Structure 1
Amino acid sequence: MKAGRCTFKAMAAVTVAMTIGLLGFVPAQAADPIKIGAFFDLSGPAASIGTPTKLVADMVVNKINKEGGINGRPLELVIGDTEGDPTKALLVAKRLVEKDQVTALIGPTRTGTGMAVKAYTEKQQIPVIMTIGGDPVIAGGKYGPFTWTFKTPQRTSTAVTKVYDFLKAKGWTKVALMTATDGFGKDGLEWLTRLAPEHGIQIVANEAFDVNDADMTTQLVKIKAAAPEVIICWTIGPAGARVAKNVKQLGITIPLFQCHGQPDPKYLELAGSAAEGTYMPSTKLMVADQLPDTDPQKAVIREFISLYKDVYHYDRQYPINTHSGYAWDAIMILANAMRQAGTDRAALRTAIEQTRGYVGISGIFNLSAEDHNGLDVDSLEIVQVVNGGWKRVTP
């Protein structure tokens, strides 16, 4: 009898195996991963932003996979280094799309590299959620179509509006501009000048600098002579700290505003005491402990901070900055869309565009065909450097 039972069990097992094979069933653990291309400035001038962005991308993919992946399929990041170079960024994008056959792309880090790849990715019809601050990638018009292109950092226009609303409330109307000559700085200049009239802002001086300039005192001497009430500096990275130092060296005591890319411990480190008192728009991530408990983002941000600091200990090398949540939001939006639409590119693109009410690190996202960012001014806080830290301020 024992031998008969064993034979019967063996035959039953073979029958089940053949049935699975014929029907095409695959055990969940053997499901093919969904490949996502992730390309950032892992080297070059913006590596201090790009590298932790990549680490956050790893972190959120690990979280999603531990929770079951996307409809039973794990996510897999395929990494590329743009080196901060537009030509390199395009080569990396082509490799990820054509060789690695990724379903979608996350990144890159800067406006220039984003614009360098956009025409290609639009032509390839592959969804891209960028982690760059500049507007041109989703501006349309002279910048080209953005059907397949999205981004998670606030639009430059949104950040400028936040600053101008604050200035208007304070009664500061005479403004001097200091903007970088790179793509991000030019985008800032465009919106600072375009939106000034409707906010009652008068631009009394307008100076430019290269992000690699060691000293900006020449431009600031001209600005001082124009007697503005406020200086607005539009750049990311070390250049903003150099402007702050030069402002202090010249004895300029009027408020200095930096852009939404500067709330970063690195700015505090590089600017030193010159950072004290400076203002800037920021994501809520930088003042999480100052948010009211009723803020729907607070719990999401707390989870992010706990994973970043307590689980992965990324803050030991890369303290949290305003850029930290961009990749988290990009991958979460992509993952939510995949759960609804699968991995077909066209269906996925549509699902991303229909994102409504996603509560992220950088804000509550409501995308549309016209707006491939989906954040408004309420997603930003005006912060001031006080005693070497970030203080949430109101007019």
Structure 2
Amino acid sequence: MMRALLTSLMLLTLITTPALAEDTIKLGAMFDLSGRAAFIGTPTRLVAEMVVEKINAEGGINGRKIELIIADTNADPAKTVSIVKKFIHKDRVVAIIGPTMTDTGMAVKKVVDAGKTPIFMTVGGDPVIMGGKYGPYAWVFKSPQRSSTAVERLFVYLKEKGLTKIALLSAADGFGKDGVHWMAELAPKYGIEIIARESFGTRDTDMTAQLTNVKRGKPQALVAWTIGPAGSIIAKNTVQLGIDLPLFQCHGLPDPKYIELAGTASEGNRMPSTKLMVADQLPDSDPQKPVIREFITMYRDKGYDKQFPINTHSGYAWDAIMIVADAIRKAGTDQEALRQAIEDTTGYVGISGIYTITPEDHNGLGVDSMVMVQVKNGVFTMAE
């Protein structure tokens, strides 16, 4: 009798354990929730939760719900490595979303490659999806535009306006260095001359020395490449020094917070941006417009905009998770098949652009995915 009972229990276990294992699809999600980029990471987490809620409410992926396992990177590369190892070896996630910063993204490239786990990053810098000296990238994808794409969009605009002599101020972090690299490489192609360069620490609170130095070169325009409060400090210092030159920021700063911090010094500042920042000005023929409108409606219905107004970063987690979810629908959860399906993404209409990913380009967005915006009367509008 006891043997029969044990046999029955063993059979039941064999039948039910796979069903339990297949119950949810685990995605790891890591963002800077308490570090220096928490102002980006925290709302990115909210968007990640929002899009997963939407997918699950619509039936999940092939009948299975997504389970989001969230972690705080704290802007710490070593901590980020530990999180990724936990995601892969303990949580057994199918894929990973995040992190927030280029430096933390770079720290985990080799880890995800060794663990054969796709990661869709929400970082700005290009090195995360570059090979050679930057390390393997076969398992790494990213949703924000490449820095090189943003530089090209900026240079097209500068050339159109006849602003060919620029001074560059950049943050001394991975993101800033990436911007400097691409501006130096692409400037000759667009007839742009970088006549002065200065760098600064991401936590510096005054850039008057750097601005004074670049002013001596008599540039036609200033370009700043950084995220966070440093950009607004540059804007205010430029006004304080009476430097009457157009100021251009990078694609990481189209954010109402920038206007709030810089105040009136932000007026007239221009920068490359996703279309999200000027959704109401898009023509109805733009295929992204209905997608962006749906996102904005959901975001506002959640009340997130009261604390975290929509900015150019807002759609990155949405696009990353949507692309991964679509790949899982097509290929299942075998990680090599999933990686290949992500890499085969073609024509996905997202918040930040229309993605066509290839083996050579693990971002999939072109210059046409970006617009130039400017601050006018305290809000972002299409640049004139």
* Structure-2-length-normalised TM-score: 0.95
Shift of 1:222: 1.0
Match of 2:179 in 1: 188
Shift of 1:349: 0.1
Match of 2:329 in 1: 339
Match of 1:3 in 2: none
Give the partner amino acid of 2:346.
Answer: R
Rounded to whole Å, the distance in 2 between the matches of 1:361 and 1:106 is: 16
> Which residue of the other structure, out of 307, 318, 322, is the alignment partner of 1:317?
307
What aligned pairs does 1:144-293 form with structure 2 within 5 A after superposition? 144-293=135-284
Unmatched tracts of structure 2, length 5 or more: 1-11
Change (3 A) 1:29 1:142: closer
Is residue 60 from structure 1 mapped to residue 48 from structure 2 by the alignment? no
Shift of 1:393: 2.2
Give the partner amino acid of 1:188.
Answer: G
Deviations 1:302-353 (A, max 9, x none): 000000002x111111111100000000000000000000000000000000
CA contact (8 A) 1:277 1:386 kept: yes
Q: Between Structure 1 and Structure 2, how many residues are aligned? A: 374
SS of equivalent residue, structure 1 residue 133: coil
Give the partner amino acid of 1:392.
Answer: M
Shift of 1:60: 0.2
Give the partner amino acid of 1:207.
Answer: E
Shift of 1:27: 12
What aligned pairs does 1:96-175 form with structure 2 within 5 A after superposition? 96-175=87-166
SS of equivalent residue, structure 2 residue 108: helix
> Which residue of the other structure, out of 318, 339, 359, is the alignment partner of 1:369?
359
Deviations 1:233-274 (A, max 9, x none): 000000001011101101111110000000011111111111
Match of 2:286 in 1: 295
Rounded to whole Å, the distance in 1 between the matches of 2:376 and 2:148 is: 26
Rounded to whole Å, the distance in 2 between the matches of 1:182 and 1:30 is: 41
Give the partner amino acid of 2:229.
Answer: P
Rounded to whole Å, the distance in 2 between the matches of 1:31 and 1:367 is: 28
Give the partner amino acid of 1:290.
Answer: Q
Runs of 4+ in 1 over 3 A off after TM superposition: 21-31
Match of 1:378 in 2: 368
Rounded to whole Å, the distance in 2 between the matches of 1:260 and 1:29 is: 44
CA contact (8 A) 2:270 2:383 kept: no
Change (3 A) 1:29 1:293: farther
Give the partner amino acid of 1:115.
Answer: M
CA contact (8 A) 1:28 1:72 kept: no
Give the partner amino acid of 1:140.
Answer: G
SS of equivalent residue, structure 1 residue 372: coil
Rounded to whole Å, the distance in 2 between the matches of 1:179 and 1:246 is: 15
Give the partner amino acid of 1:121.
Answer: V
Give the partner amino acid of 2:381.
Answer: K
Q: Percent identity?
A: 62
CA contact (8 A) 2:226 2:252 kept: yes
Change (3 A) 1:171 1:49: same
Cα RMSD over matched residues? 1.8
Match of 1:11 in 2: none
SS of equivalent residue, structure 2 residue 235: helix
Rounded to whole Å, the distance in 1 between the matches of 2:120 and 2:333 is: 15
Give the partner amino acid of 1:383.
Answer: V
Rounded to whole Å, the distance in 2 between the matches of 1:303 and 1:152 is: 19
Rounded to whole Å, the distance in 2 between the matches of 1:107 and 1:30 is: 24
Between 1:246-255 and 1:152-161, the stretch displaced more is 246-255
Shift of 1:156: 0.2
Unmatched tracts of structure 1, length 5 or more: 1-20
Match of 1:77 in 2: 68
Shift of 1:29: 11
Rounded to whole Å, the distance in 1 between the matches of 2:22 and 2:89 is: 22
Rounded to whole Å, the distance in 1 between the matches of 2:19 and 2:314 is: 32
Rounded to whole Å, the distance in 2 between the matches of 1:376 and 1:338 is: 25
Shift of 1:65: 0.3
CA contact (8 A) 1:157 1:191 kept: yes
Rounded to whole Å, the distance in 1 between the matches of 2:292 and 2:370 is: 14
> Which residue of the other structure, out of 344, 353, 357, is the alignment partner of 1:354?
344
> Which residue of the other structure, out of 34, 40, 44, is the alignment partner of 1:49?
40
Rounded to whole Å, the distance in 1 between the matches of 2:314 and 2:28 is: 18
Rounded to whole Å, the distance in 1 between the matches of 2:277 and 2:51 is: 19
Rounded to whole Å, the distance in 2 between the matches of 1:267 and 1:95 is: 35
Match of 2:9 in 1: none
Shift of 1:26: 10
Match of 1:94 in 2: 85
Higher Cα radius of gyration: 1
Is residue 390 from structure 1 mapped to residue 380 from structure 2 by the alignment? yes
Give the partner amino acid of 1:335.
Answer: A
SS of equivalent residue, structure 1 residue 132: coil
